[in-house]
Structure 1
Amino acid sequence: MKTPTFKAQVLSAIALLIAGAASASAAEPAKVASLQSGIDVQYNDKSVKPQEDFYRHVNGTWLKNAQIPSDRSSAGAFMDLREAVVPRLHAIIDGLAKAKNASGSDAQKISDLYASFMDMKSIEAAGLKPLQADFAKIDALTDKKQIPALMAWLNRISVTAPYDIQVHQDNKDSTKYVLDIGQSGLALPDRDYYLKDDDAKLKDTRAKYLKHIETMLTMSGDKEAAKNAAAILAFETELAKVQWTKVDLRDPIKAYNKVEISKINELTAGYDWNAYLKELGVTGKIDYVIVGQPSYLVGMNKVLQETSLDSIKAYFKWHLLSSVASQLPKQYSDENFAFFSKTLRGVPEQEIRWKRGVRLVDSGMGESLGKLYVTKYFPADSKAKMEKLVANLLLAYKESIDTLDWMSPETKKEAQAKLATFMPKIGYPNKWKDYSALQITKGDAVGNLRAIRSFAAQTELNKLGKPIDRDEWGMTPQTVNAYYNPEMNEIVFPAAILQPPFFNPKADDAVNYGGIGTVIGHEISHGFDDQGAQYDGAGNLRDWWTKEDHVKFAAKTAALVKQYNAFSPVPGYNVNGELTLGENIADNSGLAISYKAYQLSLGGKPAPVINGLTGNQRFFTGFGQVWRGKLREQEAIIRIKTDPHSPGEFRANGSLRNMTPFYQSFGVKEGDKMYLPPAERVTIW
């Protein structure tokens, strides 16, 4: 999942909700009342047969009755868990504020960071004074030759600019950190928002974005706000024209373009990359960079040359202002919310300030908070149970690879070698991040935001030239998510996702394999999806497939693309099967592998019937309930355009339609809406 608490309530009435489903196997014993099923039966809809729409059979009552909170763009299993984490973090922060903390300690920094955001009196009194020096720095531009150095400064303080940087492992030499340069520069979610004139919704959003820029600039004292707003939108539109699409960006081979520092100024005529790297502070630390989209940089340079310096300065000042709007007086933060949340995502009400403060601290000092979070909220036995689940999933994957009928022995050998080197990380890091270099000043909201962003950027840049840190985590323990990192060949499961309905230590194994088991399988599968399969066990881009296997794999993935292209979450907007391909492979494969792991866990013994459901039925129901959710229409459109994941409904039903054991468990037959002919079912791993 690249890039959420639920209650599991058990009611015996679940037996009434499987009318038409396959009966329990005769080999299985009578129901076992002492075990919990772990299924939220109050959310089921018995009027919908599982063979017709399994997602609504499992979640229909919730879908009918649940309301998206007024301060959110979505609701559902993930979001509920994420929201439940926030008051826990707030309690931790509140406890630190009441304690006597040593000066310069993490506890004091957390307390001061939060207090500064909550101090509206000081924020209102400061107005735009904290930005005046920054505005002056931009206004001081007298020549376009000065732009590279200014862009380095903007990159270091996380202000949107035409390109951005990332430090990570070299895709072809995972023993080294490298600097990546990639396209950026747009405030709207995707290039389509700028370029699609035939889409009334996107066109309307673009017009409202123009008005928002003008409003913000007017409030900041710009006497030519309307003119500058039009120039900013025009500049971003020209950048959008030369950007790669989200689908193109998924290709790691196309995005790997090694450029020696000695030749870097040949990238774009007249643009001084050496000045950029010097200001960034990496001169002498690196011999080369990786350019993600060379044609974009050529196009960007042309746009810079053809745009007036005054327009470029207005663009930089606008993004500087927008980047800190949440820390500015109420009129700025309210206007920022009005466009980026209310207009763009359909959220009617701004989140209460203390929650925003918690999220700020979480984003800036997340691991320090996480250390306290796991001590209080993550029991040791949960980690032990997860380790067992992960081991079972890896075993199931190992056995599955051996039985694939479409993969050659040569490629299977490489796949097994890669699987054997997978590194699971569960709960929290072995080594916590050091925040000693972070400087927080009480009463300086804008300065503190700048400080945490600069600290994060410098932490990344400091990696260049140093050994790979294999203890590092890309998510905090309190994050409700999981990920696979192909360069590390690691699967990571933060503590906060290990809660119902994903993981319920009090429930029967079936629902846990259907929930967190499929999440584990999903992340393992990313190592073998259309992107991850291009990396070997050492984390390097290397072709370890035979030509024949490539052809067979491509045929299977093409069929999956076709399936998901047909799904339409919003009238007039279909899922992009190419954009979501990697996640769809992982969803389908994760489900299949977790099912195999569940069967292995039974040790040849029949699963009990609990509340009228067989083990297999509980497994699939556990899978279906984790995807319950609903989105505001504007949010749904953004995700269709930008999110590599399919909407939850299709992550559930789309995967289940390819699973033959699901058909057997619920008696799905030809003519049912969940039915796909065997020849059209896609099984990859």
Structure 2
Amino acid sequence: MVRVQDDLFAAVNAEWLEQAEIPADKPRISAFDELVLQNEKNLTEDLKNLSVNLPVDNAELLETIKFYNKAGNWERRNQADFTAVKAELDKVLRLTDFKDFLSALTDLVFHSQAPLPFSFGVEPDMKDAVHHALGFTGPGLILPDTTYYADEHPRKDELLDFWAKNSAEILVAFGIENAERIASDAVKFDALLVPSANTSEEWAKYAELYNPVSTDNFVNGLSTVDFEPFIENLVGTRPEKIIVFENRFYDHFNLLVNEENWQLIKAWMLTKTARKATSFLTEDLRILGSAYNRFLSNVKEPRSQEKHQLDLTESYFSQVIGIFYGKKYFGETAKEDVKRMVSAMIKVYQERLRANTWLSQATAEKAIEKLDAITPFIGFPDKLPEIYKKLKVTDGSLYEDAVKFDEILTARHYEKFAEEVDKTLWHMPAHMVNAYYSPDSNTIVFPAAILQAPFYSLEQSSSQNYGGIGAVIAHEISHAFDNNGAQFDKYGNLNKWWLEEDYSAFEKKQEEMIALFEGVETEAGPANGKLIVSENIADQGGITAALTAAKNESDVDLVSFFSQWAAIWRMKASLEFQQMLLSMDVHAPAKLRANIPPTNLEEFYEAFDIKPEDKMYRAPENRVKIW
């Protein structure tokens, strides 16, 4: 029997770990996933009921149900002749040379399913969060991240071979000649991209990726493509600057996207277009199209038709479903209680900042100002984005509707450039079991779906709720002061508001957190301390603040608090999925999230009478304290 003193995660979750089974259509099961599974059941039943009793008084929900029913009409899907897909593939096939490609760029963005070998996106400007900026990146890679392309990676060859073979089968299904060569050429172009792509560590330090380039320098420097008219076609004006987020891709652009590589680029575009289409077609093709992702994570079975139907509907109508979910499943009593907990967490943070011993008073006061400016959103949004009024289901095929919706959403994406940022928009639907902090709007968002046991329940004690959702709330608040969030001011602008000596002290604290996790062994391999530092800072801040709040309650029970903390991180996953997360996920492996943060808190040692000879013991001089 495992003792808490030796392994908190294993001791608290022993019965669950023994009994829990990973669903055949998923790579893992966790406390989060258990809620997801329940939500899938509830929403499937709800949407089926709405299909019988159509919500005629709710136009957006009615379109959602129409799309849901079309996605589940397998008789019609299995009779598809692929005419619409072939029309999309033809848009790529008829580009005979690089000159054709250049002349078709704008049409390819707004009126095709084909991806480009580069990407422009409209996002809030990190230095001016009221306005949008146009960002520039590479197109992404086939494998999960750059580490998978190392010659010594054990899965590099088998994954690329599987992807190429699987892609060729898909191309053949659409009547494409020379399918094997085309899929092989797509892999060759992907290989050219690897040296210029950001690593997962680089993406994780997103505040450092902001590299504004004047539009003059941008269009003059990237000489193989005439970006002058293209950029104006995208956003309707000529921006003063372009934000480059992948510097190596920008530096090597002319060597990658050029006439010499055109046949490889064309093959890559064609293959990606074909792969994307499979989700909306026959049963055989949707199973074929998802085979690579299953192989990547060792998932035994494809999603059932019923779950796939829900997945597709969520992909286009997520906020509509989210608001429906929030109104049905999230009560006002719970909302008010969570609001109270958020206020308590913020108050605790204020007190901890005032008592902080390594920050100057001036910086601490600025931090408190930022803290006071945080806006919490709880449950579900007050309004639905206007774009949903434009998503109308037609008499055409499911794929044709998806193509039409993509065109509408793409146009809307670039339209935003001319508008001020709407900081009230939610970036997660209410039925998603998650939460987030947005640095550009200084908001914390807690969707209704995570406000359930084991994270939160009116039936749980205050200590259990603080060990669950309280720690999650404080975790999101802590992101305002992690290695990325700390560089944004209270208005959401990338702006160094710290005194220089304070930030230097903070960087030393970051190094301590990196060292605490660096190389710690897991079932899937050693942890990467640099990749996961921001989430670890937030985890440590979260559990520390939640603990303080729990101690302020009359019914405090620290054993329950730490046990609940360990329970919310329970997880079992395939080895392949764990390895993928180790290489690219900014969160620490679940067991480390459960076990390491408590060891930095004196109350943990008191609650479980942990001694120096116990495995969970950490010497006081090695305990990391930031917030």
| Whole-angstrom distance in 2 between the partners of 1:306 and 1:146 | 11
| Counterparts of 2:205 and 2:586, CA distance in 1 | 13
Q: 1:100 to 1:507 in 2, by over 3 A?
A: closer
- Counterpart of 1:176? 131
Q: Is it true that 1:648 corresponds to 2:590 in the alignment?
A: yes
Equivalent residue number for residue 614 of structure 2: 672
Does the 8 Å CA contact 2:215/2:241 hold for their aligned counterparts? yes
Which amino acid in structure 2 is aligned with residue 577 of structure 1?
Answer: G
State the secondary structure of the residue aligned to 2:131: strand
Q: Secondary structure at the match of 1:121?
A: helix
1:311 partner letter? L
* 1:396–1:593 contact (8 Å) kept in structure 2: yes
Find the aligned partners of 2:203 and 2:513 in 1 and give their Cα distance.
19
Give the alignment partner of residue 531 of structure 1, picking from 477, 481, 484. Answer: 484
Matches for 1:458-469 after TM superposition, within 5 Å:
458-469=411-422
- d(CA) in 2 for partners of 1:187 and 1:250? 19
> Any conservation in 2 of the 1:658–1:676 contact (CA below 8 Å)?
yes
**C-alpha displacement of 1:92:** 2.5
User: Per-residue deviation at 1:380?
Assistant: 0.8
Does residue 663 (structure 1) correspond to residue 622 (structure 2)? The answer is no
Post-superposition offset of 1:326: 1.1
- Aligned position for 2:520: 567
Q: Secondary structure at the match of 1:669?
A: coil
The AA in structure 1 aligned to 2:405 is I
Give 2:579's aligned residue.
637
Q: CA deviation at 1:116?
A: 1.7
Structure 1 equivalent of residue 49 of structure 2: 95
Partner residue in 1 for 2:279: 326
Q: Which runs of 5 or more residues in structure 2 are unaligned?
A: none
1:489 paired to 2:442: yes
User: Which residue in the other structure is 2:542 paired with?
Assistant: 590
The answer to whether 1:190 aligns with 2:132 is no
What is the 5 A alignment of 1:144-223?
144-148=98-102, 150=104, 152-153=106-107, 155-156=109-110, 160-193=115-148, 195-223=149-177
Cα shift at 1:207: 2.2
Question: Of the candidates 293, 310, 314, which is equivalent to residue 362 of structure 1?
Answer: 314
Kept in 1, the 8 Å contact 2:207–2:484? The answer is no
**Matching of residue 304 in structure 1 with residue 257 in structure 2:** yes
Whether the 8 Å contact between 1:153 and 1:279 is mirrored in structure 2 is: no
Compared with structure 1, are the counterparts of its residues 274 and 398 closer, same or farther at alpha carbon in structure 2 (3 Å cutoff)?
same
Q: Distance in 2 between matches of 1:102 and 1:233?
A: 48
CA distance, structure 1, for counterparts of residue 56 and residue 118 of structure 2: 40
C-alpha displacement of 1:307: 4.2
| CA positional deviation for 1:104 | 9.6
Aligned position for 1:38: none
Q: Distance in 2 between matches of 1:667 and 1:130?
A: 67
Per the alignment, residue 245 of structure 2 pairs with 292
Number of residue equivalences? 625
Residues 204 and 586, structure 2, Cα contact 8 Å, conserved in 1: no
Amino acid at match of 1:496: A
**Is the deviation greater in 322-331 or in 535-544?**
322-331
Q: TM-score, normalised by structure 2?
A: 0.95
Equivalent of 1:392, from 330, 339, 344?
344
* Rounded Cα–Cα distance in structure 2 between residues aligned with 1:379 and 1:224: 57
SS at match of 2:526: coil
1:339 equivalent in structure 2: 292
Alignment of 1:311-460 (within 5 A): 311-341=264-294, 343-434=295-386, 435-460=388-413
- Tell me the amino acid that sits aligned with residue 562 of structure 1: A
Q: Distance in 2 between matches of 1:478 and 1:442?
A: 29
**In the alignment, what sits opposite 1:33?**
none
**Structure 1 residues 295-304 or 97-106, which shifts more?**
97-106
Residue in structure 1 matched with residue 96 of structure 2 by the alignment: 142
Distance 1:86 1:98, change over 3 A: same
Helix, strand or coil: the match of 2:389?
coil
CA distance change for structure 1 residues 208 and 548 in 2, over 3 Å: closer, same or farther? same
How far does residue 131 in structure 1 lie from its aligned partner after superposition? 1.4
| Counterpart-to-counterpart distance in 2, 1:492 and 1:436 | 24
The answer to whether the 8 Å contact 2:146/2:197 transfers is yes
How much does 1:148 deviate?
5.0
> Structure 1 residues 92, 131: CA separation in 2 closer, same or farther (over 3 Å shift)?
same
Deviation at 1:139, TM superposition (A): 1.8
How far did residue 151 of structure 1 move? Answer: 5.2
Q: Higher mean Cα deviation, 518-527 or 456-465?
A: 456-465
Q: CA contact under 8 A between 2:129 and 2:491: conserved in structure 1?
A: yes
Bigger drift between 415-424 and 267-276 goes to: 267-276
Segment drifting more, 452-461 vs 560-569: 452-461
Tell me if structure 2 keeps the 8 A contact 1:213–1:229.
yes
Contact 1:145/1:272 (8 A) holds in 2? no
Letter of the aligned partner of 1:182 in structure 2?
T
Contact persistence 1:324–1:449 (CA under 8 A) = no
Distance between the aligned counterparts of 1:643 and 1:160, measured in 2?
A: 25
Q: Deviations over 1:185-214 (max 9, x none)?
A: 322211222x21112223322222222222
Match of 2:231 among 269, 277, 281: 277
TM-score (norm 1): 0.87
Q: CA deviation at 1:626?
A: 0.3
Aligned to 1:249, the other structure's residue is in SS state helix
In structure 2, the residue corresponding to 1:126 is in which secondary structure? coil
**Paired AA for residue 57 in structure 1:** A
Shift of 1:459: 2.9
Higher helix fraction (1 or 2): 2
Residues 1:64 and 1:234: Cα distance change in structure 2 (over 3 Å): same
1:620 aligns to what? 562
Partner of 1:58: 12
For 1:185, give the aligned amino acid. Answer: G
2:140–2:197 contact (8 Å) kept in structure 1: no
- Relative to structure 1, is the Cα distance of residues 528 and 141 closer, same or farther in structure 2, using a 3 angstrom cutoff? same
Report the Cα offset of residue 521 of structure 1: 0.5
Change over 3 Å in CA distance of 1:415–1:104 after alignment to 2:
closer
Q: Distance in 1 between matches of 2:221 and 2:210?
A: 14
Shift of 1:500: 0.1
Residue pair 1:417, 1:537 contacting (<8 A) in 2 also: yes
Shift of 1:671: 1.8
Matched, 1:80 2:22: no
Assess if the C-alpha contact under 8 Å between 2:598 and 2:604 holds in 1: yes
CA shift, 1:184, in A, is 2.2
In structure 2, what is the equivalent of residue 67 of structure 1? Answer: 21
Output aligned runs, 1:538-549, within 5 Å.
538-549=491-502
Distance (whole Å) between structure 2 residues aligned to residue 250 and residue 450 of structure 1: 32
Which of 178, 196, 204 lines up with 1:224 in the alignment?
Answer: 178
Q: Using a 3 Å threshold, how does the CA distance of structure 1 residues 530 and 231 change in structure 2: closer, same or farther?
A: same
Q: Which residue of 1 aligns with 2:510?
A: 557
Q: Which residue of 1 aligns with 2:204?
A: 250
Q: Paired residue for 1:474? A: 427
Paired residues of 2:534 and 2:586 also in contact (CA < 8 A): yes
CA distance in 2, matches of 1:95, 1:548: 61
From the superposition, tell whether residues 366 and 60 of structure 1 become closer, same or farther in structure 2 (CA, over 3 Å).
same
RMSD, aligned α-carbons: 2.0
Counterpart Cα distance in 1 of 2:36 and 2:450: 9
SS of equivalent to 2:185 = helix
